[in-house]
Amino acid sequence: MITTKTHRVRRALALTVALGLTAAACGGDDDGDDAEPAGEPADDTADEPAAEPSEEPADEPAAEPAEPAEEPADDMEAVTIDWWHIQNTEPSQGNWQAVADQFMADHPNVQIDITVMENEAFKAAIQTNMQAGDVPDLFQSWGGGGLLQQVDAGLVQDISADVGDVTGDLTGVGSFEFDGALYGLPWKVGMVGFWYNADLFEQAGLDAPADTWDGLLEQIQTLKDAGITPIAVGAGDQWPAHFWYSYLMVRLCGSDGMVEIARDNDFTRDCVVEAGQKILDLVALEPFQEGYLGAGWDAPDGESGTMANQGAAMDLMGQWAPGAFAAQLGLEDASEIPWTVGWAPFPEVAGGAGVPTEGFGGVDGFVVGKDAPPETIEFLKYIVSADVQRQISPDQPLPANRAASDVVTDPNQQAVFAGLSDSTFLQQYLDQFFTPEVGAQVNEQTALLFADATSPSDAASAITATAGG
């Protein structure tokens, strides 16, 4: 198996770092001036912060690593940054272009070439490029196990030394950190929770999704009795279903348990088996829309389409869900959805080691390729700056930069953002946290559980076998 011991150790390290940072996030400093990190005054301790953005870096060879051939002439050498992102719909695509244009205007020597791709196409293309050793300078990443493979292959750049002044404001940095080395920065964060149709809940005489698992199961029966399909899930795409399985694991195993699972690559513990059993209990209630086993996430007959057309009362999804509902209805904005959209956190599970402040979600970030020019890091820091985060946020809720929290105005998104900010632990999506192979196995076993086609312990063993634990 390719997963060696060092990987496991690293992953555990990454996780603990993630934990630490999210914990640090709780103390969120909201003191207005976000541009300047309230760090050292920079006069003494002169040699430590190598990257000082304040003055002209004209004669400062230390700041430009590994490029001694560079001409220190008055005119800076022209560089090109090859940037790949996946915001292929408007207005995001235009917003990102504007961000690049601004940066180019401020840095006349920098040319930014943007490649925009749809999510799946991007994943296929980046693989091919990586194999050819042709790594973009800056590209979309979700961190975790996928990134770790690229780190091990030496395809990405350690930027720790240059970004120390911005990481303090960012949530989710740990996803891009291995062995204390940082390879990218997050720009968007998210957390999974219930997006529910408050009108349908009301129709069944209910308020909002319950805050306990048992209460939720009771509500499911109440909704069914009222002739309402309780839950939409795209089990055909597998990953939407994996939110249920994973969040139950987080609740039942707790943060310590999740860290240990990642460290040992061993899912054969009671809390994971219990999570599988809870899925089977849920499936036995038949709470899902018709044909859920073949349904995808984003399709008219998928999870988002079912929710959008009021075909189900709730679904467990990330913060992008309302946007997808709106898109299914042909609407510009989530605020135009003709039913009342509500958000509720995942319930507590009795007897579980987890606490409600332990979240499950993920981050979107950009990673710096191995041959990227130093300006790439400057550009990355620019992207994650509060100003740019504000600029792109209307279409990209939940900025990673906490200094830009003021842009989150939708009450539901505020609830998600508050949940993230209050979280003491954020477990990253399991299918991104582990290597693609293990992630796919988690998803596959989830689908089998949703089809009642495997046992909880077999599912746990199968994932463990793939993870090599």
**Interface positions with another protein (CB under 8 A):** 1-2, 123, 127, 130-131, 146, 149-150, 152-155, 235-236, 238, 289-295, 300-301, 435-437, 440, 444, 447-448, 451, 453
Residue 77 DSSP code: P
Q: How far is the CB of 135 from another protein (least distance, A)?
A: 10
Taking the CB of residue 1, how many other CB atoms lie within 10 A of it?
10
Residue nearer to another protein on the CB measure, 133 or 180: 133
Query: Nearest-CA neighbor of 360 among 319, 309, 397, 328?
Result: 319
- Buried-exposed string 322-356: b where 16+ CB fall within 10 A, e elsewhere: bbbbbbbbeeeebeebebebbbbbbbbbeebbbee
Residue nearer to another protein on the CB measure, 70 or 298: 298
Residue nearer to another protein on the CB measure, 1 or 38: 1
- Cα(335)–Cα(167) distance, integer angstroms: 32
Q: Which helix (H) or strand (E) holds 156?
A: none
Amino acid at 206: L
Q: Which residue has the tokens 């800056």?
A: 138
Bridge partners, residue 177, by sequence? 182
Helices then strands, counting H and E runs in the chain, come out as: 17, 11
Q: How far is the CB of 15 from another protein (least distance, A)?
A: 21
Residue nearer to another protein on the CB measure, 215 or 468: 468
Q: How far is the CB of 122 from another protein (least distance, A)?
A: 13
- Buried-exposed string 101-125: b where 16+ CB fall within 10 A, e elsewhere: eebeeebeebebebebbeeeebeeb
Q: How far is the CB of 123 from another protein (least distance, A)?
A: 8
Residue nearer to another protein on the CB measure, 389 or 435: 435
Residue nearer to another protein on the CB measure, 131 or 335: 131
> In this structure, what token pair is assigned to residue 372?
């990227």
Alpha carbon 39 to chain centroid distance?
28
- Is beta strand 193-197 parallel, antiparallel or unpaired with respect to 314-317? antiparallel
* Residue 143 near residue 374 (C-beta atoms within 8 A): no
- Buried-exposed string 429-448: b where 16+ CB fall within 10 A, e elsewhere: bbbbbbbeebbebbbbbbbb
DSSP 45-73: STTS-----SS--TT-GGGSTT-TT---S
Q: How far is the CB of 229 from another protein (least distance, A)?
A: 11
Q: What SS3 state is found at 210?
A: coil
Residue nearer to another protein on the CB measure, 196 or 292: 292
Q: How far is the CB of 150 from another protein (least distance, A)?
A: 6
Q: How far is the CB of 450 from another protein (least distance, A)?
A: 8
Q: Which residue has the tokens 């690229």?
A: 150
| Greatest alpha-carbon span in the chain | 77
Residue nearer to another protein on the CB measure, 119 or 409: 119
Residue nearer to another protein on the CB measure, 2 or 105: 2
Q: What SS3 state is found at 192?
A: coil
Residue nearer to another protein on the CB measure, 173 or 448: 448
* Residue 433 near residue 443 (C-beta atoms within 8 A): no
Residue nearer to another protein on the CB measure, 305 or 374: 305
